[in-house]
């Protein structure tokens, strides 16, 4: 959900986590933090004493800053290499076991939200390998670091605002659940639990799906299943709608017509008939009465793959704004379903 699958490789994340050092920062003395504390007091009724005491315990996490830096320019995107990291034998085997164990919860989620098991399982598999890699950073540390000391990038101001919002939600979530904010562990970007929800998403979209009276995305895979389904449903998932079909271009790759179609963004705005002028699909299963968007998956120096994507594909991109990510969820889910049928 945080885009980490795009920002850094698993190897980079593991290396950074192993080398992570938490340094004294005295965040409680920073001018920007004082302003944030004043805002939290005014908006939410916190006290200055409690917040200053909290920020006095926060550590600066330099590795989180470094992992937020964009990749060096010049290296072409490679869908096949990306896919190989996520659609691989271990995740497929673990996904089949997860599906078997939580089949009842997955069925219930599909009934309530319309999201099929293979998508929920595929997404949790891509995010954390079914709870194996949920992150070991204290969420308060990384959110505070990124909210007030984000690296110097073109999007620095916007990203700092985003993380300040998540820090606000983190403190509110801890207060609402009567928990110490420092008990929450997560990724280097502050994402939490099996589905890697940011604090704001936990407060808005997470559900108590196991019925125990609390939401726990770290220790309850059933809550994770229901929360993923609920999130996708809120963000445009449509019951029984297909996801994507492979396409073949009938126009040159750099044509204006093609560039216009690819520039529509995360939106299904064409009818199948409209797309036939630039691309076709060999699939006889592609309905003619729904909308599609044209998606390109670049393969480095090899040929680009093209797909007709529906609103459900784009719903996955609202979990993580990446075509590579959404297609990995789709592919991993399909492979896990196939493995179970064997």
Q: Do 62 and 208 belong to one domain?
A: yes
Nearest residue to 272 (alpha-carbon basis) of 264, 284, 260: 284
Q: Is residue 126 in some structural domain?
A: no
CATH number, domain of 276, equals 1.10.530.10
Q: Do 140 and 196 belong to one domain?
A: yes
Q: Do 264 and 318 belong to one domain?
A: yes
Q: Do 273 and 325 belong to one domain?
A: yes
**Active-site residue, selected from the candidate residues 110, 118, 127, 166:** 127
pLDDT at 153: 94
pLDDT at 115: 98
Nearest residue to 209 (alpha-carbon basis) of 187, 193, 185, 191: 193
Nearest residue to 313 (alpha-carbon basis) of 267, 273, 274: 267
Q: Do 208 and 249 belong to one domain?
A: no
Q: Do 148 and 68 belong to one domain?
A: yes
Q: Is residue 294 in some structural domain?
A: yes
d(CA 334, CA 117): 10
Residue carrying the six token digits 């005295």: 26
Q: Please state the separation of Cα 29 from the chain's center in Å.
A: 33
Q: Is residue 84 in some structural domain?
A: no
Q: Is residue 200 in some structural domain?
A: yes
Q: Do 265 and 208 belong to one domain?
A: no
The token pair that represents 121 in the structure block: 């399982």
d(CA 268, CA 257): 16
Q: Is residue 95 in some structural domain?
A: no
pTM of the model: 0.92
Q: Is residue 229 in some structural domain?
A: no
**Cβ atoms of 215 and 231 closer than 8 Å:** no
Q: Do 183 and 256 belong to one domain?
A: no
Q: Is residue 288 in some structural domain?
A: yes
DSSP character for 238? -
CA angle 178, 134, 97 (to 5 degrees): 115
Q: Is residue 297 in some structural domain?
A: yes
pLDDT at 70: 87
Cα dihedral 242, 323, 332, 126, rounded to 10, equals -130
**HSE toward the beta carbon, residue 26, CA cutoff 13 A:** 3
Residues in a beta bridge with 309: 244, 293
**Cβ atoms of 150 and 160 closer than 8 Å:** yes
CATH number, domain of 62, equals 1.10.8.350
pLDDT at 11: 55
Known catalytic membership, residue 127: yes
Q: Which of 215, 233, 259 is the last residue of a domain?
A: 215
Which residue range forms the structural domain that includes residue 42?
Answer: 4-72+132-215
pLDDT at 273: 92
Q: Do 189 and 293 belong to one domain?
A: no
Q: Do 209 and 250 belong to one domain?
A: no
Work out how many domains the chain is built from and give that number: 2
d(CA 185, CA 192): 7
Q: Do 249 and 304 belong to one domain?
A: yes
What is the rounded end-to-end Cα distance, in angstroms, of the chain? 31
Q: Do 204 and 313 belong to one domain?
A: no
What is the greatest pairwise CA distance in the chain? 66
- Return averaged pLDDT per consecutive 10 residues of the chain, 342 residues in all: 52 51 78 97 97 97 95 85 97 98 98 98 98 97 98 96 98 96 98 98 98 97 98 97 96 91 91 92 92 96 96 97 97 98 84
């Amino acid at each position: 959900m945080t885009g980490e699958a795009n920002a850094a490789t698993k190897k980079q994340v593991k290396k950074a986590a192993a080398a992570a050092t938490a340094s004294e920062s005295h965040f409680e003395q920073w001018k920007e933090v004082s302003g944030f504390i004043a805002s939290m007091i005014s908006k939410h009724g916190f006290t200055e004493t409690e917040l200053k005491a909290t920020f006095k315990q926060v550590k600066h996490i330099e590795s989180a800053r470094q992992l937020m830096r964009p990749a060096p320019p010049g290296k072409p995107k490679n869908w096949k290499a990306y896919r190989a990291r996520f659609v691989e034998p271990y995740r497929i085997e673990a996904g089949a076991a997860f599906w078997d164990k939580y089949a009842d919860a997955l069925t219930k989620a599909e009934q309530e939200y319309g999201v099929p098991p293979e998508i929920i399982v595929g997404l949790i598999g891509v995010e954390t390998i079914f709870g194996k890699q949920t992150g070991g950073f204290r969420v308060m540390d990384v959110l505070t670091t990124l909210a007030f000391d984000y690296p110097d990038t073109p999007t620095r101001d916007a990203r700092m605002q985003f993380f300040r919002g998540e820090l606000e939600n983190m403190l509110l979530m801890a207060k609402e659940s009567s928990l110490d904010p420092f008990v929450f562990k997560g990724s280097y970007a502050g994402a939490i639990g099996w589905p890697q929800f940011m604090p704001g998403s936990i407060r808005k979209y997470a559900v108590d799906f196991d019925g125990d009276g609390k939401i726990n995305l770290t220790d309850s895979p059933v809550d994770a299943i229901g929360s993923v389904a609920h999130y996708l449903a809120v963000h445009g998932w449509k019951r029984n709608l297909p996801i994507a079909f492979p396409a073949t271009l009938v126009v040159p790759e750099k044509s204006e017509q093609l560039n216009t179609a690819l520039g529509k963004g995360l939106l299904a705005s064409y009818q199948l008939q409209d797309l036939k002028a630039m691309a076709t699909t060999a699939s006889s299963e592609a309905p003619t009465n729904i909308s599609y968007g044209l998606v390109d998956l670049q393969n480095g120096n090899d040929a680009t793959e093209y797909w007709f994507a529906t609103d459900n594909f784009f719903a996955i991109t609202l979990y993580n704004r990446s075509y590579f990510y959404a297609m990995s969820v789709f592919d991993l889910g399909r492979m896990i379903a196939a493995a179970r049928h064997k």
